[in-house]
Structures are given as C-alpha cells and as structure tokens.
Amino acid sequence: MISMHRSTLKTMMAGAVLAFASHAASAAEVAGIKFDDSAKVAGKELKLNGAGLRTKFIIKVYAAGLYLPEKKKDPAELMKLEGPRRVTLVMMRDVSSEDFGEAFMTGLNNNVDKVEKSKIVTQISKFGEMFGSLSGLKKGDLLHIDFIPGTGTVCELNGKKIGETVPDLLFYNAILRIWLGNKPVDSSLKQELLGEAK
C-alpha cells in the first residue's frame, strides 16, 4: 500500500512538473514560432519580456519578441533601462524592402514628434539605406535589432550584420515606439511585448 501510494505520488508530481514546463514553453511560442526565454547580447543575459504576433488585415506578418535586462510593463520605464536590448522578428510572409521601409517610417512618424525626429534624422536616413540595400524579407527570415551600449543599434539578418551601426540610444528608443508607443503598429502586439494578457 505504502509503496503504491509513493509511486502514485511520484507519478502525479512528475505530471505536474511536465504540465508546468509545457505551460512555460507555450508562453514563449507565437503561431508556432518559439522564442527562447533568454538571449545573450553583448555578453549580457537578457530576459524575454514578451512575444506576440503582428497581423495586418488578419494576415500574419511576423512574430516579435522583446528582450530586456529586466522585465518591464511600462514603456516609459523600459526606455530608461541601462544595458543592451533586443527586438527579434521572425517573418511569417514575404515582405518587400519598400513595404518594410514604409511600415518603419509610418511607425516612427506616428510615435515620434518633430523635435525628437529632427535629432535623429541622420540615423533614420542610415536605416532607410539599409532597407534599400535588401532585396526584401522572406518567410522564415530572422531579424535581430539590438542596442549595444557604447556601440549603438546593430541589425542582423539570419546571423549576418546588415547596414551601418547607429550610435544614438534616442534612435533605438524611437524604434521601440513603433511597437510600444502611443500609436503602436499593432495594439495587441504592444500588450504581448509588454507581457500583458490580452
């Protein structure tokens, strides 16, 4: 009786652990795309703050994950964080460089005022040149947009650096506002990146 009871208890505990692990794993999965719970940028371990799906007219465009030194739900606090940060995009459909660049500029224009934008006009131009150099983004492409203190904004497409490094933190925060600003590109995605339940 005792051995049977212990065996049953062990089975139940193992099942509970597996269920918890499965739940934890699903929290970092978006439309079949898995996001690691952490990422190393510039030698520092970052935590997955949240992940979600960008849709446009019900079409899945990309899955996005936001990695930070510590989890934050308030965009204003998030912008003040010291240390590296990362936005990871996994494309779920083909997007031309023109469409991607246009979406980027629309997101900036909707969330960055003229005064702030005037301070980063050179950086915006460099980013535009990067989009222009791409033939487009393909389904399955992996894009990292990193901020590295002392270096700046660095972009990698499928593990290869693209474009020039842009040094200003103000510029990286402007990029973040595309998803986390007052007029985000996708309000549901904003909530998901901030780790909030829909």
Q: Where are the beta strands (DSSP E) in the chain?
A: 29-30, 33-34, 38-41, 44-56, 59-68, 85-91, 142-148, 152-157, 160-166
* pLDDT of the residue at 17: 38
Task: Judge whether 48 and 88 are in contact, CB under 8 Å.
Answer: no
Q: Can you tell me the mean pLDDT for 105-122?
A: 92
* pLDDT of the residue at 68: 97
* pLDDT tens string 122-180: 999 888 888 888 889 999 999 999 999 999 999 999 999 999 999 889 999 999 999 99
Task: Judge whether 86 and 48 are in contact, CB under 8 Å.
Answer: no
- Domain boundaries 34-193, CATH class: alpha beta
* pLDDT tens string 4-15: 444 443 444 444
pTM of the model: 0.84
Nearest to residue 137, comparing CAs of 156, 111, 154, 153? 156
Q: Can you tell me the mean pLDDT for 105-112?
A: 93
